[in-house]
Amino acid sequence: MKLIVFDIDGTLTKTNDVDTECFVQAFKDVFEITQINTNWSTYGHTTDSGITLQIFHEQFERAPSQEELSKLQDCFVELLNQRYSTNPDMFAKIPAASVILHKISSLPDWKIALATGGWRLSALMKLQAAGLDVTQFPIATADDSYSREVIVTTAIKAAQKAYNQQEFEKIVCVGDGIWDVLTAIQLQLPFVGATDFLDIEAFFEALNTATVPKPHKPEEVQKNSLPPSYFETLYTTNPDPWQFETSEYEAKKYTNTINALAKPRYQSALEIGGSIGILTEKLAPYCDSLLSVEVSKIAQKQARTRCKKLSQVRFELMRIPEQFPQETFDLVLISEVGYYWCRKDLQKSQTLILKNLAKGGHLLLVHWTEYARDYPLNGNEVHDSFLELAPTQLKHLKSQREQQYRLDLFERV
């Protein structure tokens, strides 16, 4: 048995425009927020919950309360209903959407699930307004997660339960937005782009031949460094979003990172992107002084607690390259943060690092090298960029490549 995971807005219903209009208006009506970036692809997670979290951190430097979320959702749905009463054409179904859903439902070898970045109440309202009956299909929404990857995975699990399938022979994502494509790439699922379903034979041919899209990122992702609000959103929903504390992979990487240090002790070290302080705590015994900088208040609060007995460790909230410590260091550690910079900010950061790294001082880079849809760069691009500075400004001392990450150690010339 095979599974099709349909997006909703723009895929089954022509509701992208009215959705944006009412979503923005709801923020204005409930919170008096009038300036909202509606280029959704620039957000870390293009879901109602993910966008809301990021907007709140940008506007108020905190997460919304459950009461505030409920007010926003209620206002959003009310606005949608008002727009439907005055202009029902804004809630039209995609051509032949009901036909294709009915056709697939009649087939023994294909099943349907729905996965949307919208909240459940608004999603169901738009489907009903468009005249699409989807009550028999499992659905996952932004109520389940701020992450599209988790939403799609949740829809698949719901489909396995609903259709009594331990595994599906094939799973195909169907959507219309760039975020749908990027989610399919991240999950390594075949993808079919659809703007209508008028040619049923062509659609089924596309389903049967669908493949995983080639990894790529839109220009908006590549040219913008990830903002502090992106990380506050993650740490709001999970105190350890990358499993730094529990992952066996991370534990081995930490061991290799410490083993890569070329000196038994450093006088003054800088850790860029200390997160919750796991690596900070492991690095501290090798340093007379260690400054750990981080953009997330939530993460650094954990790090401060973890390292409170380590008198040589200092913490500062700092967004590099906009800010940089006015100190000289004999060790700079950049572990799993370089790919959050866009190319321009990476180059600015390199200039500042070189300026503040003492002659003979060490620069240690450690980065995951696989695809991440929302990161401007990947680990290889970060390391290769520093390699371009050798041998005139940096001397390359060590390189270690593992299946999922790489490590490079440099010395300031």
Distance CA 140, CA 158 (A): 8
How far is CA 369 from each of CA 62, 196, 291, 296, 381, rounded to the nearest angstrom? Answer: 31, 37, 26, 23, 9
Q: Around Cβ 256, how many Cβ atoms within 10 Å? A: 14
Which pLDDT does position 226 carry in this prediction?
96
Query: What residues have CB less than 8 Å from 177, skipping those under 6 apart?
Result: 7, 10, 41, 46
**Is 2-216 CATH 3.60.70.12?**
no
* Total count of residues recorded for the chain: 413
Q: Does 408 score more than 90 pLDDT?
A: yes
Which pLDDT does position 205 carry in this prediction?
96
Given a contact cutoff of 8 angstroms between Cβ atoms, the answer to whether 262 and 362 are in contact is: yes
**What DSSP character marks residue 40?**
G
Q: Does 284 score more than 90 pLDDT?
A: yes
Q: CA torsion angle for 311, 315, 321, 324 (degrees, to 10)? A: -50
Give the DSSP H/E element, type plus range, for residue 412.
Answer: strand 405-412
**DSSP H helical ranges for 16-87:** 16-31, 48-60, 66-86
Q: Determine the average pLDDT of the residues in 18-35.
A: 97
Task: For 294-310, write each residue's pLDDT tens digit.
Answer: 999 999 999 999 999 99
Task: For 262-282, write each residue's pLDDT tens digit.
Answer: 999 999 999 999 999 999 999
Distance CA 129, CA 97 (A): 13
Cis before 228? omega within 30: no
For the chain, the domains span: 2-216, 240-412
Residue 42's pLDDT band, with cuts at 50, 70 and 90, is confident
Question: Tokens at residue 246, please?
Answer: 């529990």
Task: For 334-358, write each residue's pLDDT tens digit.
Answer: 999 999 999 999 999 999 999 999 9
For 268-289, the DSSP string reads SEEEE--TTSHHHHHHGGGBSS
Task: For 61-89, write each residue's pLDDT tens digit.
Answer: 999 999 999 999 999 999 999 999 999 99
Q: Give the 3-state secondary structure of residue 61.
A: coil
Percent of the chain's residues with pLDDT above 90: 96
Q: 175 burial class (0-12, 13-18, 19+ CB within 10 angstroms)? A: buried
Q: Around Cβ 169, how many Cβ atoms within 10 Å? A: 10
Give the DSSP H/E element, type plus range, for residue 102.
Answer: helix 97-105
Comparing CA positions, the residue from 231, 253, 297 lying closest to residue 50 is 231
Given a contact cutoff of 8 angstroms between Cβ atoms, the answer to whether 293 and 318 are in contact is: yes
Which pLDDT does position 345 carry in this prediction?
98
Q: Does 101 score more than 90 pLDDT?
A: yes
Which pLDDT does position 113 carry in this prediction?
99
Hey, do 2-216 and 240-412 end up sharing a CATH topology, with the first three levels equal?
yes
Distance CA 86, CA 397 (A): 68
**pTM exceeds 0.75 for this model:** yes
Q: Does 1 score more than 90 pLDDT?
A: yes
Task: For 141-188, write each residue's pLDDT tens digit.
Answer: 999 999 999 999 999 999 999 999 999 999 999 999 999 999 999 999
**DSSP H helical ranges for 188-270:** 200-209, 219-222, 228-237, 248-259
Q: Give the 3-state secondary structure of residue 224.
A: coil
* Backbone φ, ψ for residue 297 (5° rounding): -65, -40
Which pLDDT does position 218 carry in this prediction?
87
Which pLDDT does position 41 carry in this prediction?
85
Task: For 219-243, write each residue's pLDDT tens digit.
Answer: 889 999 999 999 999 999 999 999 9
Distance CA 373, CA 143 (A): 22
Mean pLDDT computed over every residue of the chain: 97
Given a contact cutoff of 8 angstroms between Cβ atoms, the answer to whether 333 and 364 are in contact is: yes
240-412: which CATH number, 3.40.140.10, 3.40.50.150, 3.40.50.10540, 3.40.50.1010? 3.40.50.150
**What DSSP character marks residue 137?**
S
Percent of the chain's residues with pLDDT above 70: 100
Q: Does 203 score more than 90 pLDDT?
A: yes
